[in-house]
Structure 1
């Protein structure tokens, strides 16, 4: 039976007894818990348990090799090991899908045949700085570079943690950050609708089929993520409480197939209160939904009763509402805000109505208050105007005996 020893910080030693050794029967390896996992005690224990089980198996089967031998592995040969031992255990299917696309299109063409221990920090820094768009040849956006950086860091961090390489070349690679120009461009893009725009938008949505009108209205009123609301079933509605239960989402597995998966975080699982008028609309729509199901000759929903489906009970692809939303805005010549911007809009509507940040955080089901304050409650002209209006009564000209302006010298 193996055991773990905490060496401080995110560093642990995994130990197992090797029955084939009489002298020095203990075999150990040092691992480093990834930064995104070590913050959670529960996730850390689960990660270490998986690592320890893997180490025990290697030692008992005689597969445990010295660092010297393992250092000779090439980058492309290490990727499948990383995918199975780290990605499959710690990433969602969609994240693995996107990360593997980056690895196959960017990292393997550059470093594939190179031994992991021979890849240097300077190589990585130079390569990252010179990345271009594969089609246009133009410099990459910082967010795209950041995703490539994260993929590379995850692989090299794992290789270092598992003792495959003695030094981590990513330690000296600076995380990509946005330039002043990029930040200005991002700020200039519309991220949410104003209250007046929402009123117009809600009426414009009547041009859509009922299911899509209710889907987009619900996302905007409840602040749902697109996959969360796609996964809602009729059993998740509580008409008396006027609330919707969220505990799953429609997402993708690592092969790109649509699946029903867990929500983003534990905090995401909760009841979300909704306006009474919206719940009444859903109740009315349910009657039509039941008729549609009964008249469908090829119902494939089985026991699932997704409120929003493709016509035969089957879940939508997560990208379907995104495309539908973009086409709707273009056709009706409405200001373009991304579908996720409706979640931002939900936070902004609450903020402009005077709702405190703690309540907004709970409604949007965020882990941290900073997320609510920095991401979902953007600069508001309404709030800025209201703040300025608070200073109007300080106008000295409103004073009973306001002094005259000083004469010009």
Structure 2
């Protein structure tokens, strides 16, 4: 039997027992009496309206056609993976990532995650599902198993997304908690170790000569990277106002990078510690001084200088900043044309560190010159094997040769 309960004002609760349930739990709904009826002096009119509403609710519950608003509300709160991505991007990615990082992360989301998890409710995605999917990842082009570094990037994006979903109450438990972080196997570590990462001192001497085959701007760009340990985008963003000939130093406080849409922009340096003066050899600064005359002449002959307020030392013509990928492409072609050992462009930064280390410079000084935030970073990079350092370390042992001792047999 149905009944009503006043809730105060013009609101009432309509209650009926659900015959489809063994224990017959109560089903209720709140309704609000129209203003014109509530203000009426006729109690019969009010009773009639409540009776009609109660009858409709009773019939709906008994026939099973009632609308469980609580259930629908819970259902509406469920979010699919695809629907959650814009929320995560706005609430987390844009607050904690740079434009280029967002660009790379969204590339992983669009190419890897959305096709696999897009239509799933966030709460329905399980640890086992993620583990099985992760184990089947292959390179899209070659169909070979995906490299650990690529799997690690995917893992980091997934963890970031589900950590946020858990923290924001979208899901109760985090399925990534049971997913193991990808790590390199012995074979992969061996392959990585076998790849050349830096130039030796002897190779650097030959390389600096070979760079004269390039236009002056590129020769000075790559020479500067070898001597100063600049990151790719940092050196692209250097302007003439950042050069101090008296200090024989270059100021770094910005870099050329990409925004989240792939557009080249002038952005902040990687970390706060990345800002600072980089002292350079005097002969390099003299080369820059000579090059500036050529640079000014080119600007004067330029029909339309497109960067009125910028004077990038290294630009693509008309004063326009280079794309960050341009030095990388030019570097690869230069090495191939001159049949030089292949070392990545970022390897010139590591080469700068190794030259200092092999000359006996302490790790703290190397850290400050390369502007690493932590000394551990410097130690991890420049504590690996070096042939010249190994030779220097073993030199004192040469004194133990028995034949150097007169009484030896």
**TM-score (norm: length of structure 1):** 0.81
Cα distance in structure 1, aligned partners of 2:400 and 2:139: 54
Q: Residue 368 of structure 2: which of 340, 362, 368 is its match?
A: 362
Which secondary structure state, in structure 1, belongs to the residue aligned with residue 104 of structure 2?
A: helix
Does structure 1 retain, via aligned residues, the 8 Å contact 2:357–2:382? no
1:85 aligns with 2:91: yes
CA distance in 2, matches of 1:69, 1:384: 66
Partner Cα separation in structure 2 for residue 259 and residue 143 of structure 1: 27
Distance in 2 between the 1:400 and 1:68 partners?
Answer: 92
Verify the 8 A CA contact 1:160 1:167 in the aligned structure 2.
Answer: yes
Deviations along 1:67-116, one digit per CA (max 9) or x if unpaired, are: 95675100000000111111111101110001001000100000000000
Q: Deviations over 1:265-323 (max 9, x none)?
A: 01100111100000000011111111111100021011011000001101000000000
Alpha-carbon distance, 1:378 to partner: 3.6
Q: 1 CA distance for matches of 2:398 and 2:219? A: 42
Whether the 8 Å contact between 1:71 and 1:116 is mirrored in structure 2 is no
What is the CA-CA distance between 1:397 and the residue it aligns to?
A: 2.3
Partner of 1:230: 236
How much has 1:390 moved relative to structure 2?
1.7
CA distance in 2, matches of 1:306, 1:339: 20
* 1:150 to partner: Cα distance: 0.8
Q: CA deviation at 1:260?
A: 0.3
1:288 equivalent in structure 2: 294
Name 2:144's counterpart in structure 1. Answer: 138
User: What SS class does the counterpart of residue 386 from structure 1 fall into?
Assistant: helix
Q: Give 2:114's aligned residue.
A: 108
Residue ranges of structure 1 left out of the alignment (5+ in a row): 1-66, 405-409
Match of 1:267 in 2: 273
Instruction: Work out the number of aligned pairs and report it.
Output: 338
* Separation (CA, whole Å) in 2 of partners of 1:68 and 1:324: 56
Distance of 1:376 and 1:236 partners within structure 2? 29
365-374 vs 277-286, which moves further = 365-374
1:113-128 alignment, distance < 5 Å: 113-128=119-134
Per-residue Cα deviation, 1:350-406 (whole angstroms, up to 9, x for no partner): 01101011100100000111211112454210001111112111222212312x3xx
5+ residue gaps, structure 2, are 1-72
In 2 relative to 1, CA 180–363 (structure 1 residues): closer, same or farther, beyond 3 Å? same
CA contact (8 A) 1:347 1:377 kept: no
Contact 1:229 1:249 in 2 (8 A): yes
CA distance in 2, matches of 1:280, 1:338: 27
Q: 1:291-302, aligned counterparts within 5 Å?
A: 291-302=297-308
The answer as to whether partners of 2:138 and 2:144 remain within 8 angstroms in 1 is yes
SS at match of 1:320: helix
Please, which of 381, 385, 388 is the counterpart of residue 394 of structure 2?
388
Residues 377 and 275 of structure 1, relative CA distance in 2, 3 Å threshold: farther
Which residues in structure 2 correspond to 1:95-244 (within 5 Å)?
95-244=101-250
Q: What is the alpha-carbon distance in structure 1 between the residues aligned to residue 383 and residue 280 of structure 2? A: 19
Deviation string for 1:2-21 (max 9, x for gaps)? xxxxxxxxxxxxxxxxxxxx
- In structure 1, the residue corresponding to 2:353 is in which secondary structure? helix
Any conservation in 2 of the 1:192–1:342 contact (CA below 8 Å)?
yes
Residues 71 and 117 in structure 1, CA contact (< 8 A), matched pair in contact too: no
1:251 aligns to what SS in structure 2? strand
- Please, what is the CA RMSD of the aligned residues? 1.3
CA distance in 2, matches of 1:155, 1:189: 34
- The structure number with the bigger radius of gyration is 2
Structure 2 residue matching 1:260: 3-state secondary structure: strand
How far is 1:133 from its partner?
1.3
| TM-score of the two chains, using structure 2 as the length reference | 0.81
Listed as ranges, the matches of 1:313-332 within 5 Å are 313-332=319-338
SS at match of 1:390: helix
SS at match of 1:391: helix
Compared CA separation, residues 69 and 275, structure 1 to 2 (3 A): farther
CA 1:150–1:357 in 2, change beyond 3 Å: closer, same or farther? same
**Larger mean Cα displacement after TM superposition, 387-396 or 181-190:** 387-396
Structure 1, residues 197-234: CA drift from partner, whole Å, max 9, x if none? 00000000000000000000001100000000000000
Q: Distance in 2 between matches of 1:266 and 1:243?
A: 19
Runs of at least 4 residues off by over 3 Å: 67-71
